[in-house]
Structure 1
Amino acid sequence: MRAEQARRTKQTIVATAARLFVERGWGQATIDAVAEEAGVSRKTVFTSAGGKVDLLKLALDWSLVGDDEPVPLAERPEVATLMRQSDAHLFLAGWARILTDINERVAALHLVLISAAGVDPAARALLDDWESQRWSFVAGSVLPHLQRMGALRAGLSPDQAIDLIWLHGDPVVYARLVLERRWAPEQFEHWIQDALVRQLLAP
């Protein structure tokens, strides 16, 4: 009972921090503001979730997978199902759908992380780690699956393929087109799918 209450408190704190980071920006979303909005003490924020960078990391991690369960993205059912797909076009369609879903949750927070990284060394390290993990997932999971299917177009090197997949999955791209230019998420998904098919797959 106590553990479940502690979990709910942590969820509330992280959700509140995520909202304030997006609404007020990194500088104005203070620990005191998070505590006040969440209805807890400043001490509870630190003991439950940590400092500002810890809060941002948790918010990003939970947004990436959609909840606070300790199950990495690669082990989520939708990703596991995708990795069993044997048709390259359907695989990229599924990947575009997953990217869109992730970026709907992550993009605004990712912009906060970029802003924070300019003034906070710990946030800079978090951004570097986030990008490294994103690149590693593409290099270690997405590209090898396309290679096993023999689907890559002639003349496209593995490094080029990784870079293209990694670039199109950048939350900043989603933020620019959907959050700024007001594309519908479905429009973004179809654009990503079409772009990856044309740039990666053999005719």
Structure 2
Amino acid sequence: METRRPYRSALRARQARATRRAIVEAGAALYVDRGFAGTTVDAIAERAGVSRKTVFTSVGGKVPLLKLAIDWALTGDDEPVTLEERPEVRAVFEEPDAARAVTAWAHMVTGIAGRLARLHPALAAAAEVDAEAASLYAVNERNRLHGARSFVERLRAIEGLRADLDLDRAADMASLLMDPLGYRRLVLEAGWTVEEYADWVAVLTAASLLAPGAAEARGR
């Protein structure tokens, strides 16, 4: 009997993870369709095929569910791997050429924006009606600015950042280019392709941030 316990424990862990995934996916879909305020825990439970109690025990409620949905959209899955450890992020920060780093960054942030584009408005709306959601929204905005600053610091480290830009101003620019609203407006509403959007972000980033020599290298 003792030798079977690890297997049973692993099975329970897989089942719990699958349940949590189903709940988060159900909640995220409802937030997009009905908004945060219009979504109830009962509706989440019904769509996920679980009890109301299971929603609370698995994710903790509406705002923690929203946080998980945002976190998973940022990384692309529910694996316990931080965004910074993801291969596409590491590729950007390990690239020694500034022009190529900008192109890689533009495609990376486009992928993230695509996963967040429908969910982010639900977070913004939730922040208007729920104090806990407002805190989550503020943290999300700070994290985006932090990510932007890390990128422009990397550009400066490899001598790719414009000399007339201080880091705060450069981070503000990069953060705006990371905002999923642009993806929503141009790809989801205006019909741009994902590749067109990524190329546009790359062009704007290069024009806004790259030092003249690095920008010329990108154009060749």
Give me the TM-score of the superposition, normalised by structure 2. 0.89
* 2:91/2:104 contact within 8 Å kept: no
Deviating runs (4+, > 4 A) in structure 1?
A: none
Q: What CA deviation, in whole Å up to 9, does each residue of 1:38-75 have, x standing for no partner?
A: 11000000101111111110000011101111211111
Identity rate, percent: 48
- Structure 2: gaps spanning 5 or more residues: 1-10, 213-220
Instruction: Give the alignment partner of residue 44 of structure 1, picking from 54, 73, 79.
Output: 54
Task: Write the distance in 2 (CA, Å) between the matches of 1:34 and 1:43.
Answer: 11
User: How many residues matched?
Assistant: 202
Secondary structure in 2 matching 1:150 = coil
The equivalent of 1:21 in structure 2 is: 31
Worse-matched range after superposition: 2-11 or 22-31? 22-31
The equivalent of 1:130 in structure 2 is: 140
The equivalent of 1:174 in structure 2 is: 183
The equivalent of 2:67 in structure 1 is: 57
Task: Write the distance in 1 (CA, Å) between the matches of 2:53 and 2:187.
Answer: 37
Q: What CA deviation, in whole Å up to 9, does each residue of 1:1-41 have, x standing for no partner?
A: 11110110000000111111111211222111110111100
Q: Which amino acid aligns with 1:199?
A: S
Q: Which amino acid aligns with 2:102?
A: L
* 2:24/2:65 contact within 8 Å kept: yes
Q: Is 2:173 the counterpart of 1:164? A: yes
Task: Write the distance in 1 (CA, Å) between the matches of 2:130 and 2:188.
Answer: 25
* 2:152/2:161 contact within 8 Å kept: no
Worse-matched range after superposition: 68-77 or 4-13? 68-77
Q: Is 2:194 the counterpart of 1:192? A: no
Instruction: Give the alignment partner of residue 12 of structure 1, picking from 22, 46, 51.
Output: 22
Instruction: Give the alignment partner of residue 151 of structure 2, picking from 142, 164, 167.
Output: 142
Give me the TM-score of the superposition, normalised by structure 1. 0.96
Task: Write the distance in 1 (CA, Å) between the matches of 2:141 and 2:163.
Answer: 28
Instruction: Give the alignment partner of residue 91 of structure 1, picking from 101, 104, 110.
Output: 101
Task: Write the distance in 2 (CA, Å) between the matches of 1:80 and 1:189.
Answer: 18
Task: Write the distance in 2 (CA, Å) between the matches of 1:150 and 1:162.
Answer: 16
- Structure 1: gaps spanning 5 or more residues: none
Task: Write the distance in 2 (CA, Å) between the matches of 1:153 and 1:144.
Answer: 11
